[in-house]
Amino acid sequence: MNTQDMNNSVQYIFLSAIKTSSFNPRKMFNETDLTELADSIETQGVLQPIMVRPKDDIFEIVYGERRYKASLIAGFATIPAIVRELSDNDAIECALTENLQRKNISPVEEATAFQSLIQNNRYDISRLMAKFAKSESYIRSRLRLCNLIALFADLLISEEINLTVALELCKYSNETQEEIYEDHYATDNNYKNWIGKRAKDVVEMIERNYTANLNDYFFDKTVCFDCKLNSNTQSLFGDTDGCGRCLNATCLKSKNTEYIVERAITTHENNPELPLARTEYHYNEEAVEQLTDKEYDIEVINYSRECPIPPNVPQADDYETDEEYQQVKGEYEEELIEYQTESAELHQKYENGEIRMFAKIGTRGVSLGYVHNSSNGSTSNIQVIETPLMKLTKQDERNKEIEREKTIADTKILIQEIDLNKSDFTALEESITNFAMLKQLRNEHFGLMGIEESKYYLRDKERLQIVMNLTEIQKIIIRRDFIQNTLKDAFRDDATSELLLAFAEQHAPDALAEIKNKYNEVYERRHQRITEKIDAINAQSEGEETYDENDLPQEIDTDFEQE
Each residue's pLDDT tens digit, 405-426: 778 777 878 877 888 887 888 8
Which helix (H) or strand (E) segment holds residue 299: the answer is strand 298-301
Q: Give the span between the Cα atoms of 177 and 202, in whole angstroms.
A: 12
More confident residue, 532 or 3: 532
Question: What per-residue confidence (pLDDT) applies to 391?
Answer: 59
Q: What's the pLDDT band for 231 if we cut at 50, 70, 90?
A: confident
Torsion of CA 325, 327, 333, 334, to 10 degrees: -160
Q: Give the span between the Cα atoms of 458 and 451, in whole angstroms.
A: 8
Question: What per-residue confidence (pLDDT) applies to 467?
Answer: 83
Which ranges of 295-387 does DSSP label H, i.e. alpha helix?
322-351
On the question of pLDDT at 456 being above 80, the answer is: no
Mean pLDDT score, 124-139: 87
Q: Give the span between the Cα atoms of 389 and 490, in whole angstroms.
A: 59
Nearest Cα to 108, choosing from 137, 146, 140?
A: 146
Question: What per-residue confidence (pLDDT) applies to 387?
Answer: 54
Q: Give the span between the Cα atoms of 552 and 510, in whole angstroms.
A: 54
Q: Where is average pLDDT lowest: 257-261, 449-453, 473-477, 542-546? A: 542-546
Question: What per-residue confidence (pLDDT) applies to 454?
Answer: 59
Average pLDDT over the chain, rounded to whole?
Answer: 81
Q: Give the span between the Cα atoms of 490 and 503, in whole angstroms.
A: 12
More confident residue, 388 or 250: 250
pLDDT tens column, 43-95? 888 888 989 999 888 899 888 888 888 998 888 989 999 898 888 878 877 87
pLDDT tens column, 513-561? 888 888 888 888 888 888 888 888 888 776 654 444 443 333 323 332 2
Position 445: which residue type? Answer: H
Mean pLDDT score, 440-458: 75
Torsion of CA 105, 111, 115, 117, to 10 degrees: 20
On the question of pLDDT at 562 being above 70, the answer is: no
Question: How far is the CA of 418 from the CAs of 52, 406, 414, 415, 421, in angstroms?
Answer: 82, 19, 7, 5, 9
Q: Domain extents for the chain?
A: 271-385, 386-418, 419-504, 508-541
> How does DSSP assign 62-125, residue by residue?
EE-HHHHHHHHHHT-SEEEEEE----HHHHHHHHHHHHHTSTT--HHHHHHHHHHHHHTTS--H
Mean pLDDT score, 278-299: 86
Question: What per-residue confidence (pLDDT) applies to 237?
Answer: 43
pTM of structure: 0.47
% of residues, the chain, pLDDT over 70: 87
On the question of pLDDT at 268 being above 70, the answer is: yes
Mean pLDDT score, 95-114: 79
Angle between helices 472-487 and 495-507 (to 10 degrees): 130
Mean pLDDT score, 27-48: 83
On the question of pLDDT at 148 being above 90, the answer is: yes
Q: What's the pLDDT band for 485 if we cut at 50, 70, 90?
A: confident
More confident residue, 549 or 174: 174
Question: What per-residue confidence (pLDDT) applies to 439?
Answer: 83
